[in-house]
Chain A
Amino acid sequence: MELLSGADMLIRSLQDEGIEYIYGYPGGAALHIYDALFRQDKVKHILVRHEQAAVHMADGYARASGKPGTVLVTSGPGATNTITGIATAFMDSIPMVVLCGQVASTLIGEDAFQETDMIGVSRPVVKHNISVRHPSEIPEVIRKAYYIAATGRPGPVVVDIPKDMTTPNERYEYEYPKKVKLRSYNPAIRGHAGQIRKAAEMLLAAKRPIIYAGGGVVLGKASEQLTDLAHMLGHPVTNTLMGIGSFPASDKQSLGWLGMHGSYESNMAMHHSDLILAVGARFDDRVTNATEKFCPGARIIHIDIDPASISKTVEADVPIVGPVDSVLKELIALVKESKAKPDNDALKAWWKQIDEWRAFHGMRYEKSDTYIKPQEVIEALHRLTNGDAYVTTDVGQHQMFTAQYYKFNKPNRWINSGGLGTMGFGLPAAMGVKLSYPDDDVICVTGEGSIQMNIQELSTCKQYNLPVKVVNLNNQALGMVKQWQDMNYESRHSQSYMESLPDFIKLAEAYGHVGIRIDRKEDLEPKLKEAFAMKDKLVFIDIYVDPHEHVYPMQVARGSMKDMWLSKTERV
Chain B
Amino acid sequence: MRRIISVLLENEPGALSRVVGLFSQRNYNIETLTVAPTEDETLSRLTVTTTGSDRVIEQITKQLNKLIEVVKLVDLTEGSHIERELMLIKLKASGSQRAEIKRTVDIFRGQIVDVTSTVYTVQLAGDSDKLDAFIQAVGTTGVLEVVRSGVSGIARGEKVLSI
Contacts and interface: CB of A to CB of B under 8 A. Distances in A.
Chains A and B belong together in one complex: yes
Interface of A: 119-120, 123-124, 127-128, 131, 148, 182-185, 306-308, 311-312, 315
A308 B70 contact: no
A307 B21 contact: no
Contacts of A312: 59
B10 A123 contact: no
A183 B163 contact: yes
B59 A148 contact: no
A120 B163 contact: no
B66 A308 contact: yes
A306 B10 CA distance: 21
Contacts of A307: 62, 65
Given A182-B68, A185-B68, A308 B14 contact: no
5 contacts: A131-B13, A184-B72, A307-B62, A308-B62, A308-B66
B18 A123 contact: yes
Interface in B47-74: 55, 58-59, 62-63, 65-66, 68-72
A123 B58 CA distance: 22
B62 A123 contact: no
Interface of B: 10, 13-14, 17-18, 21, 25, 55, 58-59, 62-63, 65-66, 68-72, 163
Given A184-B10, A312-B59, A306 B66 contact: yes
Contacts of B69: 184
Nearest to B66: A308
Contacts of B17: 120, 123
A244 B17 CA distance: 37
A131 B14 contact: yes
Nearest to A308: B62
A148 B14 contact: no
B66 A184 contact: no
Given A123-B17, A131-B14, A184-B10, A311 B58 contact: yes
A184 B18 CA distance: 14
In this complex, which of A120, A123, A148 has the most chain B Cβ atoms within 10 angstroms of its Cβ? A123
Given A307-B65, A308-B62, A124 B71 contact: no
Nearest to A155: B66
A183 B68 CA distance: 9
A119 B14 CA distance: 8
Contacts of A185: 68
Given A123-B18, A184-B10, A308 B71 contact: no
A329 B93 CA distance: 74
A148 B55 contact: no
B71 A184 contact: yes
Nearest to A185: B68
A482 B69 CA distance: 45
A306 B63 CA distance: 10
Contacts of B10: 184
Contacts of B66: 306, 308
